[in-house]
Amino acid sequence: MAATMPRHTISGPSGNGLFTNGTPTRSWTVSTAKPVTYEVRFENGLLDPANPALAEAGNAAGTTGSRRLLVVEEQVQRLYGDRIAAYFAARGLDTETCVLPAHEQLKTMESAFRVVESMDGFGIARRHEPVVAIGGGVLMDIVGLAASLYRRSTPYVRVPTTLIGLVDAGVGAKTGVNYGRHKNRLGTYHPSSVALLDPMFLATLDQRHISNGLAEILKIALVKDRTLFELLAAHSKALLSSRLQPDDDPSDRRVAEDVLCRAVHGMLEELQPNLWEHQLQRLVDYGHSFSPVIEMEALPELLHGEAVCVDMAFTTVLARRRGLVDDDEAQRVLAVMDDLGLPVWHPACTPAAMERALADTVRHRDGQQRLPLPVGIGQACFVNDLTAPEVRGALEELRERDLALRSAL
């Protein structure tokens, strides 16, 4: 929209009138802007009946609704279903629960349609009965897509139960499902009205999924928050073994809280000015240039964060070979990835796959690579001139490191 235009306009070729020189206006330009506000909040004790946060979340001001449609991921339902039901009963809300199995291979339109069916069956009252999505990133992306399609937009609340959910999938605007072999190929921008983040859910998450989420935290650390990197480097083992839920030691608790808050803050700082991704040069794309192809090629072997980490290891080596990161820094970064239980290499990373991934990324980024590369630790730049020989050289170096590590075991 031109800077001088009012925010909402309808105008013909020569102004806003119905007639121009006695003839009716026959073409119009419609221009408007939609303000978007949503809340992301850490909220401990979300399932404590004394805590009204979840019951009140997403209700349009001044309205009350006494029903909720809950969409709960299957494993979460098994672990927390009784507590969830008890919570809503204690808060006086009638609920229906759609239990959805959700993993990467079920991240499909069929799953989104299952949610739509539940919404239809429930007879959602859009203004005061937000859908409540409780689960990991896959479930939230599916429910978000269904909610954005249903009656062209229905409010929903996100309650992420995985680490990726807490620091990434739960806090942005994007929704989506996979299509064919393409990750998140169908999707929308439809943030939840409220995202309530309760790290308590991490207590039951297996360690591999904690590592998986730490990869997205490491991403923020590597491109914009050196302090966060130092926290991860110094406390990797404790963060992993406590699942960011240390019981006793107040200083461990403080570290876990710092890590989570810095990760969410850093993520939102990057997302907010560019929520609809009109700007294609995005720091948060770090780790996401090659990983979509790596993840889909390696499916179901690599989790999302693991594929992101392989991409980050690869681009760290690329950056070192360009002199953007020095030897010690590169070794440190790779060592922290090892300590966080993350892979730095996968056989799916063939030169052909990586070149295909880059071509796909270039298409997605409007004809340019716009490839984020680390500069030291905690900063990044964008490049447009990565070459195929560079890709092959960095791949070979990483593969040799992986072989050497394996033979030392």
Binding residues for ligand NAD, per CB under 6 A?
73, 75-76, 79, 102-104, 107, 135-139, 141, 161-162, 164-165, 168-169, 172, 174, 184, 201, 204-205, 209, 212, 304
Residue 183 is a catalytic residue: no
Closest CA to 46 of 6, 99, 86: 86
Q: How far is the CB of 115 from ligand NAD (least distance, A)?
A: 14
Closest CA to 142 of 97, 199, 181, 103: 103
Backbone phi and psi for residue 20, each to the nearest 5 degrees, phi listed first: -125, 115
Cβ closer to ligand NAD: 104 or 390? 104
CA-based Rg of the chain, rounded to a whole angstrom? Answer: 23
CA 157 to each of CA 56, 114, 140, 189, 381: distance values in angstroms, whole numbers, following the listed order: 10, 18, 9, 15, 35
Cβ neighbours around 28 below 10 Å, total? 12
> What would the DSSP string read from start to end of 141-200?
HHHHHHHHHGGG---EEEEE-SHHIIIIITTSSB--EEETTEEEEE--B---SEEEE-GG
* Catalytic residue (one of 107, 174, 219, 224): 174
Task: Give whichever of 169 and 283 is closer to ligand NAD, judged by the CB atom.
Answer: 169
Backbone dihedral angles phi then psi of residue 191, each to the nearest 5 degrees: -65, 155
d(Cα 236, Cα 215) in Å, to the nearest integer? 11
In the complex, minimum distance from the CB of residue 162 to ligand NAD, in angstroms, rounded to a whole number: 3
Cβ 240 vs Cβ 340: under 8 Å: yes
CB of 76 or CB of 259, closer to ligand NAD? 76
Q: What is the closest distance, in whole angstroms, from the C-beta atom of residue 225 to ligand NAD in the complex? A: 18
- Counting runs of H as helices and runs of E as strands, what totals does the chain give? 13, 14
Nearer to ligand NAD, 217 or 398 (CB): 217
- CB-wise, 59 or 161, nearer to ligand NAD? 161
The catalytic residues are 174
